[in-house]
Chain A
């Protein structure tokens, strides 16, 4: 227990902040993933073959390649890419992007591929009659989406999105290879300096279990809220 004390003697406060970092990266990544899903879901559902192809390329590549490889691509290639873009605008200094942004982006792109599939499935399983009824009633396109399709879609998507959230949360542990101090990295540091890896990695496992458990509880509440009337 001494090892977990707060303050200078123990690792309690460090691990606490590391947990907050894990939560922050997971939420950021999940939101970035939603942005990607917002772009790629319509592409996958589009009538045009070429747009379908782009959407399918994204989800197939990201879901077929290991997360770690994607993270290495961003970690080693991220600042290079930014510097390339900057050089077009005449800026040639070295640019370093911080580990939080690279990490959230890498995990976000991965999480986005899974979210895209979830949204696609949810929209496709809405009864065609709903679209047709809206059309017949003369409901405008965007109101049709926000008031009719979205609420029904969310109800169907939430259980699967909770899976995506779990995957995203666990994937953030991989960002530790880039040096971002989240749960895994902090445990690695603590294990190295106290020579007690068993304790710290087991504690990390407990922290992850706690996070998954608590988020499941929260998501279940959302699920109940959105399935009112069903």
Chain B
């Protein structure tokens, strides 16, 4: 066991953790917006919107995240139309490609989580709101959304942890996130176990924090 290497690699890995956290928070932010949009579409009575949202979530949940990143990073650069448009400013950066792929991916899972949360809301709540003469817009914002958020917390906590692990794929498109730097150190020192222990502990610590934060929120918003 090479303890010196473990201590020396720790600061480098911590720096890389910042990249991982940035990727995670940005993709979760955009993913949540996408998820909410598609969850609403899934519940709409308009058949076209409904089918489209279903297809979207089926497509992104049925294919590996790696394929999605590769299509966006390697594939889209091939289309002349995209290369000449303003989109190219974003799509030529591996950083943004990774975030787009992550956000679309987590958006698909989030939409399913939110949809099932909305569906488990008791009809009585909505009917009670209606009979009190509250407009359906306010029922949605003040009754349905808060309950749905509470309902979806445990599942969404899992999704955050899955996404944290998903960000490791950014290393396949040249980004130096935690896994990317870990791989670099492993391939230059050939000490996989030591590096795995340090990098793995950092990931586990983050999972631990996320897990407990969600637990805390669950307790806080218990009803």
Which residues of A pack against B, CB within 8 Å?
A: 60-61, 63-69, 72-73, 76-77, 80, 166, 170-171, 173-174, 176-177, 184, 187-188, 191, 195-198, 201-202, 204-205, 208-209, 212-213
Docked-complex contact B196 and A170, CB < 8 angstroms: no
**B residues within 8 A CB of A187?**
70
Q: Are B71 and A202 within 8 A (Cβ)?
A: yes
B59: interface (CB < 8 Å) = yes
B66 at the binding interface (Cβ < 8 Å): yes
| B67 lies within 8 A of A205 (CB) | yes
- Which of B72-80, B88-96, B117-125, B146-154 interfaces with chain A? B72-80
A212:B172 contact, CB within 8 angstroms: no
26 chain-A/chain-B pairs, Cβ below 8 angstroms = A60-B204, A64-B165, A64-B207, A64-B208, A65-B165, A65-B204, A66-B164, A66-B168, A66-B203, A69-B179, A69-B200, A72-B179, A72-B186, A73-B193, A76-B186, A170-B64, A170-B65, A173-B64, A173-B67, A184-B67, A191-B74, A198-B79, A205-B67, A205-B68, A208-B63, A208-B67
Known: A76-B190, A77-B196, A208-B67. A69 touches B62 (CB 8 A): no
The main secondary structure of chain B at its interface with chain A is helix
Q: Contact check: which of A63, A68, A205, A212 meets B168 at CB < 8 Å?
A: A68
Q: Are A177 and B172 in contact (CB under 8 A)?
A: yes
- Residues of chain A within 8 A (CB-CB) of B204 are 60-61, 64-65
Bound Cα distance A188, B172 (Å): 12
Chain B contacts to A: CB under 8 angstroms: 58-59, 62-68, 70-71, 74-79, 161, 164-169, 171-172, 179, 182-183, 186-187, 190, 192-193, 196, 199-200, 203-204, 207-208
Q: Is the CB of A68 within 8 A of B171?
A: yes
B203, A69: Cβ atoms closer than 8 Å: yes
Residue among A67, A177, A205 with most chain B CB within 10 A: A205
Contact of B67 among A66, A171, A204 (CB under 8 A): A204
CB neighbours (8 Å) of B196 from chain A are 69, 72-73, 77
A77: chain B residues within 8 A (beta carbon): 192-193, 196
Report the Cα distance A201→B67, complex, angstroms.
Answer: 6
Shortest A24–chain B CB gap in Å is 17
List B contacts of A64 (CB < 8 A).
Answer: 161, 165, 203-204, 207-208
Contact A201 B165, beta carbon cutoff 8 Å = no
Contact A68 B179 (CB under 8 A): yes
The smallest beta-carbon distance between A198 and chain B, in angstroms, is 4
Q: Which residues of B contact A72 (CB under 8 A)?
A: 179, 182-183, 186, 192, 196
